[in-house]
Structure 1
Amino acid sequence: MEELQAKHRKEQRDLQARITQKKKSATKKTRKGINDECERLQRELAEKQEAEIRQLNGEVPEPPVDGLDDLALDDGRDGNDADEKEEKKSVAAAAVAEEKKSEEAEENTTATRGKKPNRQKARLARRAAEQAAQAQAAADEAANQTDRRGNEKEVMDAAFKKLGLQELEINPDGHCLYSAIASELDEMQLGLRPDPSRIVLPSTTQSRIDTVTSPKHDGYRAVRAVAADYILEHKDDFEPFMEEPLDAYTRKIRLTAEWGGQLELQAIARAYGVEINVVQSDGRIEKIEPGDTDDLDEEERNKRKIWLAYYRHTYGLGEHYNALLKKP
């Protein structure tokens, strides 16, 4: 009996291996047929083994009966038969679990194949990830950079306090140098002294000229005109330092928002006979001499001083000038 039971166990294991292989290779269309075939093979093996056990016990083989798989072989037999029954149940349970697992895997595969990837969403996700990475990199870089704006403002405020100056904010529009000069000339009551015939305007009415020469309106236009006139009249002093023709250079001064620099400061200082002191972003002071002021007394020369604040980092557009006035 033990030899027969060992033989039966091996046959059941072999059959289970065949059933597992068949179900793994099954598709959605062939699954039902394979399941039926597997059930038939299990039933036939069970009937065959039952017949062999009866034959060994000297019993007359009976024809197969429906539901034979669910019947106990013999309640009165020894523990080996009970073990065989339990093993059959375990094999059947394992087959059911394997089938369920195979079905779930196939359903997942089918769902994955049937769902097309959304390329637009994928692109948007990649772009969002790239932007987030760039923002983080910029934040990291900013955190490691020196606060030039804050440092510059701190240095400038300390210099203003030491010199007894108060700052007058000028609009950062490209005309800041000329607007700052116009404001201080008006404060000193020196006048802008433009030549109306040289100011190019859409209208030549006197009221328009008065507006242009007013520091409260477009005073920077008058200062631009005076600077351009002085450079044209003293071209030998300025032309060697230009990188473009004199006429084109002075036309930009007169008619555009081109920023003013060192040459323009020199021309303005000499044209108006004023000393221009520029407080730099590092606290240094650059002095631009007014030229020939021998006809002025000491008090008048001291009066004709203009103070400017020159920034490199504080304003978004870049270099910028503000006016500086003596505290009352």
Structure 2
Amino acid sequence: MEETETPEELLTKQHRKEKKDLQAKIQSMKNAVPKNDKKRRKQLLEDIAKLEAELNEKHEEELQQLNNNQDGEKVDLIANGVENLGLDNEETKESKQGRTSKAQKRRDKKAALEKERESRIAEAEVTNLSGFRHQERLKLAQKLAERQLQIKEIPSDGHCMYRALEDQLTARDHGHALDLAQLRALTAKHMRSHANDFLPFLTNPNTGDMYTADEFEKYCSDVEDTAAWGGQLELRALSQVLEMPFEVIQADSPSIVIGEEYTNAPIVLIYMRHAYGLGEHYNSVEPLKEAPKEEES
């Protein structure tokens, strides 16, 4: 007969998986930030430390709760007389049948722990309602609503700017069937062929000097082949390649238009400073969806 795992074993297994998942997430976060970007690397280390501390605190709370639950179960068993020595054969049989229900109890307890974890996440979101992230979203939602638009979420994987542009180009259906890889390749190619336009804005974070030719080539290679985060320089390059303007909407500043020399309707992007742990993030937009009207009684 296969042995049923104890609550301690189940919880230990869950904690190991969560630690492994966190390490994978941390590695992904590290890969998304260039090593020569000291400012973002510093913020990255702070975010990683916060994530690890939160996970450790969560695990300690779950272990404490498990211990408290087990103490309570022992009291209930004694109170119900299950541990009395005068059990006859029928009671013994019922006890054996009860062991099957214990396995179910363990599964229920595991589900309860997961539900509590989700509850803590929800509470954290509520706590964050007064934070920068929520306030930023409120301001952006108001600006977009005036234009009958709303935020369309883009994954935070280092490619957000390019994915947002890909989404907008696809929605326009102007024949720009460009995917993420093509957008990155076009950006790098244009920056290489117009180095004098971009080099003055790129400096070595350690020395403050303008990039050397080798450093610039490394920068362009990262643009093309890695998940290096895209910003205003890359938007400028793509605006010139596609010959269209980009409007970047922000919560606390006026919109920025890149490529004003082009007269067609601009591609609209959302720039967020507090969207995720690493901060800066680009989202796309979509037509505002009206909330369903309540029927009058």
TM-score, normalised relative to structure 1:
0.44
Name the larger-Rg structure: 1
Q: Please give the TM-score of this superposition, normalised by the length of structure 2.
A: 0.48
